[in-house]
Amino acid sequence: DMSSTRTYNHELVPHKGFTLISGIHDPDDVDQIYNLEIRDSDVFVITYPKSGTIWMQQILLLLEADGDETATSKFNNNGDLIPWIEITGSREAFIKAPSPRMRVTHLPYHFMPSALSQKKGKVIYIARNPKDVLVSYFYFHKMASMLETPKDFNEFFERFLQGHVFGCSWFEHIKTWYSHKDEINALFITYEEMIQDLRSVVDRISLFLGKQLNDEQLANVVKHSTFTNMCKIPQASYEQVPEELLNHRQGRFMRKGTIGDWKNHFTVAQNERFDELFQKEMKDFPLSFIWDI
Ligand code: A3P
């Protein structure tokens, strides 16, 4: 019985088009994010869950340290250095933090600091093909102590299509951010680009952030942010996140790190339904994804 291993029993709380998790997020606190003062050196990494958030944490920390992989080793978890802005207490720490302030978030656009729309600060949006997101999210729901374990894959598939998962629907998330892309100072990248050519993505991020790293330092950033190497770094692979948040006996945060794992999970009928929904939802958004390699 998996439920007996749970120490947390959090509730999903719908709040203005996003579900928060009671005990982790506070609705009033989240509403205050909109009013934050933003510095030009601030960096926000925006992701729908399971799209490469912790990967980007590792890349940004390495870029900040000029490629020196020992820089983060005195910390327990990369998430302590680049925290989620929506978690209770995070906003107060953000206000006091020295530059550069780097944060990650799963929040939709309308919650984010209004100053971003005056092109203050920097936004890195990572999109991942939603079929692989769905599969990754399914496994994450099994290991995340604060989320309800899905009955089986089929049940989770339906929930994802309806947007009844932690956060909001994948379609909502990408559409709200993408439709505001010209108002904000943003770099849009995909998980698939990172898989296929990590070096060129790292180069683009470095340029976007105005970093001056030499070739060898950039190569080091890439080297220490590959899937294999991140698996060897406990603070980068989230292995040290406490059990009350992640049940490490139920799976690994660094699960597979590939493109196209959905093919091992979707039935033909599920795939057709997904494609139909994708075409309907995304008809006004000319975004193309790499679905397999
Ligand atoms: P999988 O479950 O498909 O393996 P997030 O950090 O947004 O929750 O995303 C987690 C997903 O990113 C997981 O996907 C994880 O394996 C993958 N990931 C993390 N670091 C990666 C890396 N260096 N290379 C490839 N995939 C990575």
- Give me the domains of the chain, ranges plus CATH numbers: 17-281 (3.40.50.300)
- Mean pLDDT score across all residues of the chain: 94
Q: Atom of ligand 1 at shortest distance to CA of 136?
A: 2
Residue from 62, 140, 227, 259 to probe ligand 1 pocket by mutation (most atoms less than 8 Å from CB): 227
pLDDT digits (tens, 9 = 90+) for 11-45: 889 999 999 999 899 999 999 999 999 999 999 99
The SS3 call for residue 27 is: helix
Q: Residue 3: what pLDDT?
A: 44
> Residue 143 belongs to what H/E stretch?
helix 130-143
- For residue 5, pLDDT over 70 is answered with no
Q: Is 55 in the pocket of ligand 1 (CB under 6 A)?
A: yes
Q: Is 256 in the pocket of ligand 1 (CB under 6 A)?
A: yes
Residue 74: pLDDT band (50, 70, 90) is confident
Of all residues in the chain, the percent with pLDDT exceeding 90 is: 85
Q: Residue 80: what pLDDT?
A: 92
Pairing outcome for strands 12-15 and 18-21: antiparallel
- For residue 284, pLDDT over 80 is answered with yes
CB-CB neighbours of 256 under 10 Å: 13
pLDDT digits (tens, 9 = 90+) for 197-239: 999 999 999 999 999 999 999 999 999 999 999 999 999 998 8
Q: Is 127 in the pocket of ligand 1 (CB under 6 A)?
A: no
Which burial class, exposed, middle or buried, applies to 277 when counting CB atoms under 10 A from its CB (0-12, 13-18, 19+)? middle
pLDDT digits (tens, 9 = 90+) for 127-162: 999 999 999 999 999 999 888 899 999 999 999 999
Q: Is 90 in the pocket of ligand 1 (CB under 6 A)?
A: no
Q: Is 220 in the pocket of ligand 1 (CB under 6 A)?
A: no
pLDDT digits (tens, 9 = 90+) for 76-87: 899 999 999 999
Please tell me the distance between residue 230's alpha carbon and the centre of ligand 1 in angstroms. Answer: 10
15 flagged as catalytic: no
Q: Which residues contact 44 (CB under 8 A, 6 or more apart)?
A: 85, 103, 104, 105, 112, 116, 121, 122, 123, 124
Q: Residue 15: what pLDDT?
A: 96
Residue 9: pLDDT band (50, 70, 90) is low
Global pTM reads: 0.95
